[in-house]
Structure 1
């Protein structure tokens, strides 16, 4: 094996070990039960500022979600749409666990917040690297996700340059 081949092989193994390790699945059959939701919001996040650098803050602010800048926020009121979002997220998580290889960028551009009387589930989603961070009832986990829910989320959020705050029916 040539020196270049050995370096390339070691580099690929290191990338796989660092950026593609499989997380343990989050417990429970569903992340959020749509039959008992008080609210469901979807958010479009902007991971980069005007200068092209990561735009994350530790300071709480109304235009931030877990430090990331929120550029669109839509409340989904229709139960059938809430259920469709839940089903697509669950499908994406199943597909993610079945074999997607993830990168390590984690620059989330989407989030989902599902609130019920006794629970809140928050998802930060980076479809570019297939990682989703799940925050539920004081616990957090990192899982892999396919792009199954992305098209519906984008459709509900509308064009990226438009900020809407009214509910989606």
Structure 2
């Protein structure tokens, strides 16, 4: 399979991060692959993704009240206290704090030093899949492509997929087919140049899983919007063009999975 290696994905994610070296940085067996920061007009969300050398680690992003500028955070890695397996595991740590004004910059400090994180703005024309979600998407051993009913379920319903009824699921295990779906999805996101509606009537979804982490993408091509979920992080959204809609519909139809307009 021609998926990017973990090292290449880490390099891809870290491309938007400016590393400011500090002599006080101490080496740590926990590594950080990428950072993501977004301001939505009311809140600042920060995400870090990396690996731990064994199972059982705790990874947290916490505010750094003594730091300048104020929008600074520390990525804290706590070693396991009990038995752990010698297996490299992937982690995602996230935090959301109130932010009435747009930060000038966002800084995350970890054992490798101080990292200035590029801020993703809602008005930014060029869209991309957040680096942690993208890593899981491309590292997944299977992809689940779903057909959704665009009418939301009752808010108290425990069924469905993030509030939407699943009409059918295509489980994709062929490496080339997974590559094609992931590439088409990413191309539709990076190729977004259209307007956006404030509705949300999703008809498609993707689930990817890597190293115990699940990334869910609820997709509304009609409204050019994706809502994404991973770990305990707050739901994130980004924009998408309709470029992948026909391909997704064809895959579902070929598997005799009904589309909502059928």
Q: Is the 8 A contact 2:196 2:225 kept in 1?
A: yes
Identify if the C-alpha distance between structure 1 residues 158 and 28 changes in structure 2 by more than 3 Å, giving closer, same or farther.
same
Answer 1 or 2: which has greater helix percent: 1
Kindly provide the CA deviation profile for residues 4-40 of structure 1, in whole angstroms up to 9, marking residues without a partner as x: xxxxxxxxxxxxxxxxx63785532861456632321
- Larger fraction in strand: 2
- 2:51 aligns with none
In structure 2, how many angstroms separate the alpha carbons of the residues matched to 1:113 and 1:162? 16
Alignment of 1:47-126 (within 5 A): 47-48=150-151, 54-61=152-159, 64-96=160-192, 99-126=193-220
Secondary structure (helix, strand or coil) at the match of 1:60 reads coil
Shift in Å, 1:55 = 3.6
CA 1:39–1:87 in 2, change beyond 3 Å: closer, same or farther?
Answer: same
Count of aligned pairs = 134
Gaps of 5+ in 1: 1-20, 49-53, 164-169
Range moving further from structure 2, 72-81 or 112-121:
112-121
Q: Distance in 2 between matches of 1:79 and 1:95?
A: 24
Q: Does 1 or 2 have the higher relative contact order (CA < 8 Å, sep 6+)?
A: 1
* Deviation, structure 1 residue 121: 1.0
Matches within 5 A, 1:1-169: 22=123, 27-28=130-131, 31-33=134-136, 36-48=139-151, 54-61=152-159, 64-96=160-192, 99-139=193-233, 140-158=235-253, 162=257
CA contact (8 A) 1:30 1:90 kept: no
**TM-score, normalisation: structure 2:** 0.46
Paired with 1:95 and 1:147, the residues of 2 have a C-alpha distance of: 9
Structure number with greater Rg is 2
CA distance 1:119–1:111, shift in 2 (3 Å): same
Q: Over residues 126-161 of structure 1, what are the superposed CA-to-partner deviations in whole Å (9 max), with x where a residue is unaligned?
A: 100100011123322110001122122111111798
TM-score by length of 1: 0.68
**How many Å separate the matches in 2 of 1:158 and 1:30?**
27
